[in-house]
Structure formats: structure tokens, C-alpha cells
Amino acid sequence: MQQITRSIYLVDAGEQVTLEIEAVKVGNFTTFVVDGTQIPSIPGSNPQTFEPFTVTVGPGLTHFGRVDAHFPATAPDDAHYQLFLTGSAGGGRFTGSDIKKLNLSHARGLEFRR
């Protein structure tokens, strides 16, 4: 996997992509969806880790992902989530977008391009 921006990645056919979300000063109140299918998180994982999904799109096509986060009213203003992504074809552990409590939107889009 290669990182183009914090939200766009180049992936290989059959690659397994894993998303981790580190919660800072807040609990794990996030969901991850790829192409309309919710990806389950691995129970007890820390940071919260979602089950890997397999790249199945053909060349020139894209998987679209979305992370939604929630911040309880009791979370401090500096609470945030940090996204980390890895692919089974290598490239490293990439730092993705962050989601801060004070952001207007608590959702982030991700693109996985072939």
C-alpha cells in the first residue's frame, strides 16, 4: 500500500487493509464502513482495530471507506481520534486523518485506489 494523502491510498489486488483508531481522551465510539458494508472491530483490541478487508476492485477502480466518530458531551475539547492504516503488501503503517471533537464534521472519507 502507498499513501497519496492522509485519506487516499494506492492498493494492490487481494491486499488486506487494516484500520486502527487510537482514541485520545475519549472512548472508542467509532465505526468503519467500506463500500456500504460495516467492518467489525476486533473485540478487546487497543488501539481499536477493525478486521482487515480485502481489495477486490479491478484496476482503475476504488473502494470507498468512511469512518464516523462520536464524542460524548463529557469528553474534553481536546479529545480526538487518530487513524492508522496498514496493508498486507507492505509500505508501512501510515498516519491517516484525525478527527477532533471541535471539528465541524466527525466523519472522514477514505479511498483505496487500484
Task: Give yes or no for a contact between 52 and 34, defined as CB atoms under 8 angstroms apart.
Answer: no
Number of domains in the chain: 1
Q: Give the pLDDT confidence score for residue 7 in this predicted structure.
A: 97
Q: Which residue matches cell numbers 494523502?
A: 5
pLDDT per position as a tens digit, 10-26: 999 999 999 999 999 99
Q: Give the pLDDT confidence score for residue 22 in this predicted structure.
A: 98
- Dihedral Cα 9, 111, 105, 103, nearest 10 deg: 0
Strand partners, 106: none
Where in the sequence is the domain holding 19, given as residue range(s)? 2-113
Q: Give the pLDDT confidence score for residue 24 in this predicted structure.
A: 98
pLDDT per position as a tens digit, 35-79: 999 999 999 999 999 999 999 999 999 999 999 999 999 999 999
Residue 79 cell numbers, joined: 479529545
Task: Give yes or no for a contact between 23 and 47, defined as CB atoms under 8 angstroms apart.
Answer: yes
Exposed, middle or buried: residue 110 (CB in 10 Å: 0-12, 13-18, 19+)?
buried
